[in-house]
Chains A and B, each alone.
Chain A
Amino acid sequence: MSLWKFRGSWTTVKIPADIYAINNVISITNPAWGTFSSASAPSTIRPTDLFPQAATSLEIGSNINVLSNRMSFDFTYYQKKGFDFIKSSSVSPISGYGSIFMNTLEERTRKGVEMTLKATPVKTRDLQWDLMFNWTKDAQYFTKVDPLYTTNVDKPWVGVNKRTDAFVSNDFLRDPGGNIIYLNGIPQYSKYLSLFGYADPDWMWGLSTSLSYKNFRFNINLDGRVGGLITSYTEMYLWNTGNHILSQDEPARYKDATVAGSMNYIGNGVKVTSGTVTFDAIGNITADSRVYAPNDVATTYKTYLQNYHKSIAWGGNPSPAEILDGTFLKIREISLSYDVPSELVSKVKMKGASISFIGQNFFMWAKEFKYSDPDGGTENFADPSQRYLGFNLKIDF
């Protein structure tokens, strides 16, 4: 063992409310109608006794180097607890107010581990290979929930020790076998929210390797994430506008366009032939007498697409078809460089020179994102990411 180090830290941070945030301000509209100005009182209650928002964090870690520093392993565990959140908490607007500006009783804790492994598997006079691999896993949980003001506190995915990044949306109405229920040829959405998964990744990783042989050096940096759900607006609107490559060969589309007024697409699912269903307040089925038959009602392909991949630019929750897994891998940087040997360099009166070829964003693989880049955690018509390939020539005089 060459080195063994322990470390730890503890911090606390306080962030007060913004300046003027607790002012109760009348808003004036001028003009409101004709020559009249109007005044309206705020529908948010702003109390004067507000605590600053606080966060405490704790980190402990250890670093161990072995084999005369040829291999090292670093491990960190961290925990960051946020509380006294200042939030404009929504309340029932029937109380006369839409929200209260307050410190909630909520407490959220992000716990995670980070591990880094560095090794130099090969080290000779001419050849050296360095490797570094790091791996992070973290998630944020509710450690305390405010029974009145935590958003969606009555829903089953919100509660102590549940994750704060629940990804919810309206699923399709489905029969007991999971098939989508159609009404008049159109897929139906449930009016109730359900849990699809979580937005934060399950874990993230990075790998960097550096190989040097005599005057050549070759580096690759890769990283990626695994898991986590992201809504793809690109896919949503590709389908919605009829531009998606997979919609081009649909035979019903051609028939709809060539025979005016005809409807040729039959959605893959079931329809209800008789019976009714009742739901409780959060969407669990309390009584169900529905009888199903395979869907045989045709509609136009356009109508089907615009309902199956619904547009949410003016609000709403995404269709399950647009909720994609954010797993991806990228080669962030790849480079090959050559240091010109000093004997050659000095002949041209230079002190040193090197040539390198560099590629950035060299390669990307994503599990479900085919037309856009999930890097960044959200995808809302992001411009395509750019690959850069170039070379450098560095000369020292």
Chain B
Amino acid sequence: MKSIIHYRIFSALMIIVFLMGCTDKFDEFNTNPNTVTQAPPSMFATQVILNMTKFSGRDAMAYLEGQCLTKYVGLGVTKVANQYNQMGRGYFGLTSLPTINSMISSAEGNPQKDSYLALAKFARANMFWSGTTSLGDIPYSEAGLGADGNFKPKYDTQETVILGILNELKEADALFAKGIKFDGDPTPLAGDATKWRKVVNVFTLKVLNALSKKSDVTSLDVKKRFQDIVNAGNLLDNNTYLGLVYNDVQNHPMYNNRNLYYNSAMVSSMVVNYLKRLNDYRLFYFADPSPDKIASGLKEDNMDAYVGMDIEVEFAINQANNLKKLYSSLNGRYYDVKAPEPRVILGYSEQQFALAEARVRGWISTGTAKDYYESGVKAALAFYKATDATKAHNKPITDAYISGYFTGEAAFAATTDAQLKQIWLQRYLLGYMQPESEFYNYRLNKYPDFPINPATNLNPGIGGGFPMRNMYPDAEYSYNLENLKSALTKQWSGSDDTNNIMWILK
């Protein structure tokens, strides 16, 4: 009897011990020892900054497709829908928000915390601005709350979103003012908080500029905000920009892509003709001469040797002409040099043009529009002067050329309308093979004169012109339909069309 009782008690104890042992060990076994669950804020910051600055498209073709829409180039071997104005669905997602939030939470107790918080606000403002300018109304107040279980955020009006964006930019400015140098910045700014503060301000000026049709809306107070930033004086100088410098490992997306598709990227006749009218030597940096013209005896430093492709013409005709080598292709510098020029997201030139436009419109009264315009253009020319001069077809930009630039059509005009057009054209030229918002600028100002041919236009809508927006993404249709439907009803009686006009354009 005794031994039986002992045996039973013993086995019961063993079972209890085993059960306890099992539960504790599960988490340990199920945690991958080769991965990390924490990182310092500097590493998250690198990702956040790269998300804003690095080209995130699929490949060189995607890079060119973007440029085709805004009429910088056209393709001669394959028909690109963007070149003929076809817009599809846009993308708006905040999946980089967990990284931003991790950056803030891992910065707790760190003296650089203010800078990381400022960076977070700037990144958020950037994402929401891209989303709303591309689509229209988007969620803002309920956006990014997935960790709290809100997977169906309601949509806010564009006015509410923009107000939120402007306030976050203001907070970012104040935080960078207190912040110290932070680690993890892969851009030339190197984590310098005062420089970042200037970048935030320039971005704000850019946003305010784009609200020129809504400059009288009291809630946004566009003109006063612009004046406050200019008066505070924390703006970029000629040598500071937000962007990335390519290197041996991270090459320009076009590098080494001289092959059938990419080699058929031809500069548009619109760009070539504008540059010729301005006697602008950037032509020699943007393009290679037309092989046909060179064969007929013209030299590569002669502007007449450069022929642009009429990108709005029927593709079959362009394809046939391309085979005859009539057109000027993209400058070889982009294909042959790993780091042909830095990738500039926000720079001094763009800032100066924003100031020039505001001065012409009378939003600010400091400085002169002419000075802003000329300093912006000079900086843009100097940018190309600093690139590989051997690819400039024997017509490099020199200091003498830069100071003598402002003659003829390039001289600052007399009337407001003409002045605005000059500023817009120069801003447009900044975007050649660079990240640009010319899609948004064109639909606001309808300048420069994008060539649009109804016979080849793929933007449906009778007499189709240039598209005004992207359609809402499929993900919203699949996962947030009710809220999307009410946003569509409020904006355009339920229709989601690329030709609908959004609030900031009305």
Q: How far is the CA of A43 from the CA of B138 in the complex (A)?
A: 20
Contact of A92 among B29, B480, B497 (CB under 8 A): B480
Closest to A306 in B: B79
Q: How far is the CA of A96 from the CA of B92 in the complex (A)?
A: 10
Q: How far is the CA of A148 from the CA of B494 in the complex (A)?
A: 23
Q: How far is the CA of A275 from the CA of B461 in the complex (A)?
A: 9
Query: A90-B479, A282-B477, A303-B315 are known contacts. Are A95 and B145 too (CB-CB below 8 A)?
Result: yes
Query: Does A41 reach chain B (CB closer than 8 Å)?
Result: yes
Q: Which one of A132-140, A180-188, A213-221 contacts B? A: A180-188
Q: Contact: A154 with B151, CB < 8 Å?
A: no
Query: A25-B35, A38-B46, A281-B496 are known contacts. Are A33 and B93 too (CB-CB below 8 A)?
Result: no
Contacts of B201 in A (CB 8 A): none
Q: Contact: B37 with A24, CB < 8 Å?
A: yes
Query: Does B19 reach chain A (CB closer than 8 Å)?
Result: no
Q: Output the residue of A36, A37, A152 with the most chain B CB within 10 A.
A: A36
Q: How far is the CA of A263 from the CA of B90 in the complex (A)?
A: 33
Query: Please, what's the 1-or-0 string for A271-313, where 1 marks a CB less than 8 Å from any CB in chain B?
Result: 0101110111110001000000000000110010010000000
Residues in B296-321 with C-beta less than 8 Å from chain A: 314-317, 320-321
Minimum C-beta distance from A252 to chain B (A): 12
Contacts of B29 in A (CB 8 A): 19
Closest to B91 in A: A93
Q: How many residues of B contact A (CB 8 A)?
A: 76
Q: Contact: A98 with B152, CB < 8 Å?
A: no
Contacts of B98 in A (CB 8 A): 40-43, 96-97
Q: How many residues of A contact B (CB 8 A)?
A: 62
Query: Does B478 reach chain A (CB closer than 8 Å)?
Result: yes
Minimum C-beta distance from A26 to chain B (A): 5
Q: Contact: B458 with A40, CB < 8 Å?
A: no
Query: Please, what's the 1-or-0 string for A34-50, where 1 marks a CB less than 8 Å from any CB in chain B?
Result: 10111111110100000
Closest to B45 in A: A38
Q: How far is the CA of A269 from the CA of B250 in the complex (A)?
A: 49
Main secondary structure of the interface of B (DSSP, over half): loop
Contacts of B457 in A (CB 8 A): 184
Q: How far is the CA of A54 from the CA of B44 in the complex (A)?
A: 38
Minimum C-beta distance from A209 to chain B (A): 50
Q: Contact: B94 with A25, CB < 8 Å?
A: no
Query: Does B471 reach chain A (CB closer than 8 Å)?
Result: yes
Q: Contact: B39 with A96, CB < 8 Å?
A: no
Residues in B363-419 with C-beta less than 8 Å from chain A: none
Residues in A204-251 with C-beta less than 8 Å from chain B: none
Q: Contact: A19 with B250, CB < 8 Å?
A: no
Contacts of A28 in B (CB 8 A): 36, 39, 43
Q: How far is the CA of A38 from the CA of B37 in the complex (A)?
A: 14
Q: Contact: A303 with B316, CB < 8 Å?
A: yes
Query: Does B495 reach chain A (CB closer than 8 Å)?
Result: yes
Query: A38-B47, A95-B145, A186-B458 are known contacts. Are A20 and B32 too (CB-CB below 8 A)?
Result: yes
Q: Contact: A26 with B30, CB < 8 Å?
A: no
Closest to B106 in A: A39
Query: Does A151 reach chain B (CB closer than 8 Å)?
Result: yes
Residues in B121-155 with C-beta less than 8 Å from chain A: 138-139, 143-147, 150-153
Q: How far is the CA of A254 from the CA of B124 in the complex (A)?
A: 56
Query: Does B484 reach chain A (CB closer than 8 Å)?
Result: yes
Contacts of A39 in B (CB 8 A): 36, 39-40, 43-44, 46-47, 99, 102
Contact of B38 among A22, A26, A38, A274 (CB under 8 A): A26
Q: How far is the CA of A278 from the CA of B145 in the complex (A)?
A: 33
Residues in B15-58 with C-beta less than 8 Å from chain A: 29-32, 35-40, 43-44, 46-47, 50, 54, 58
Query: A23-B32, A90-B479 are known contacts. Are A34 and B250 too (CB-CB below 8 A)?
Result: yes
Contact of B151 among A95, A155, A186, A306 (CB under 8 A): A95
Q: Contact: B146 with A45, CB < 8 Å?
A: yes
Q: Output the residue of B102, B317, B478 with the most chain A CB within 10 A.
A: B478
Query: A28-B36, A36-B186, A261-B317 are known contacts. Are A152 and B44 too (CB-CB below 8 A)?
Result: no
Q: Contact: A93 with B30, CB < 8 Å?
A: no
Query: Does B256 reach chain A (CB closer than 8 Å)?
Result: no
Contact of A41 among B102, B139, B456 (CB under 8 A): B102
Query: Does A13 reach chain B (CB closer than 8 Å)?
Result: no
Q: Contact: B481 with A93, CB < 8 Å?
A: no
Closest to A45 in B: B146
Q: Contact: B97 with A96, CB < 8 Å?
A: yes
Minimum C-beta distance from B449 to chain A (A): 21
Q: Contact: B455 with A90, CB < 8 Å?
A: no
Q: How far is the CA of A19 from the CA of B476 in the complex (A)?
A: 32
Contacts of A272 in B (CB 8 A): 462
Contact of B494 among A41, A276, A280 (CB under 8 A): A280
Minimum C-beta distance from B310 to chain A (A): 13
Residues in B451-467 with C-beta less than 8 Å from chain A: 455-458, 460-462
Residues in A136-160 with C-beta less than 8 Å from chain B: 148, 151-152, 154-155
Contacts of A1 in B (CB 8 A): none
Contacts of A348 in B (CB 8 A): none
Query: Please, what's the 1-or-0 string for B79-121, where 1 marks a CB less than 8 Å from any CB in chain A?
Result: 1000000001100111111110110000000000000000000
Contacts of A276 in B (CB 8 A): 461-462
Minimum C-beta distance from B130 to chain A (A): 13
Query: Does A29 reach chain B (CB closer than 8 Å)?
Result: yes
Closest to A27 in B: B35
Query: Does B249 reach chain A (CB closer than 8 Å)?
Result: yes
Contacts of A155 in B (CB 8 A): 478
Q: Contact: B249 with A31, CB < 8 Å?
A: yes
Query: A41-B44, A92-B153, A263-B316 are known contacts. Are A32 and B477 too (CB-CB below 8 A)?
Result: no
Q: Contact: B44 with A40, CB < 8 Å?
A: yes
Closest to B98 in A: A41
Contacts of A274 in B (CB 8 A): 462
Q: Contact: B314 with A93, CB < 8 Å?
A: no
Closest to A20 in B: B32
Query: A184-B457, A184-B458, A263-B314 are known contacts. Are A29 and B47 too (CB-CB below 8 A)?
Result: yes
Residues in A328-384 with C-beta less than 8 Å from chain B: none
Q: Contact: B43 with A37, CB < 8 Å?
A: yes
Contact of A96 among B145, B476, B478 (CB under 8 A): B145
Q: Contact: B37 with A25, CB < 8 Å?
A: yes
Q: How far is the CA of A145 from the CA of B150 in the complex (A)?
A: 20
Q: Contact: B30 with A23, CB < 8 Å?
A: yes
Query: Does B206 reach chain A (CB closer than 8 Å)?
Result: no
Query: Please, what's the 1-or-0 string for B488-504, where 1 marks a CB less than 8 Å from any CB in chain A?
Result: 10000111110000000
Contacts of B43 in A (CB 8 A): 28, 37-39
Contact of B47 among A19, A32, A98, A281 (CB under 8 A): A32
Residue pairs across A and B with Cβ atoms less than 8 A apart, 28 shown, are: A20-B32, A20-B35, A22-B30, A23-B31, A26-B35, A28-B39, A33-B50, A37-B43, A37-B46, A39-B36, A39-B40, A39-B47, A39-B102, A40-B47, A45-B146, A45-B147, A91-B151, A92-B152, A92-B476, A93-B93, A94-B92, A94-B480, A98-B93, A186-B458, A278-B494, A279-B495, A281-B477, A306-B79
Given contacts A45-B147, A299-B316, 17 further A-B contacts (CB under 8 A): A20-B31, A23-B31, A23-B35, A24-B37, A28-B43, A33-B244, A39-B40, A39-B43, A39-B46, A40-B47, A40-B96, A41-B98, A92-B151, A95-B94, A95-B153, A281-B477, A303-B316
B interface, CB within 8 angstroms of A: 29-32, 35-40, 43-44, 46-47, 50, 54, 58, 79, 88-89, 92-99, 101-102, 138-139, 143-147, 150-153, 184, 186, 244, 247, 249-250, 314-317, 320-321, 455-458, 460-462, 471, 475-481, 484-485, 488, 493-497
Query: What 10 A-B pairs are tightest by C-beta distance, nearest first?
Result: A93-B93, A95-B146, A39-B43, A39-B39, A38-B46, A96-B97, A43-B95, A38-B47, A41-B98, A33-B186
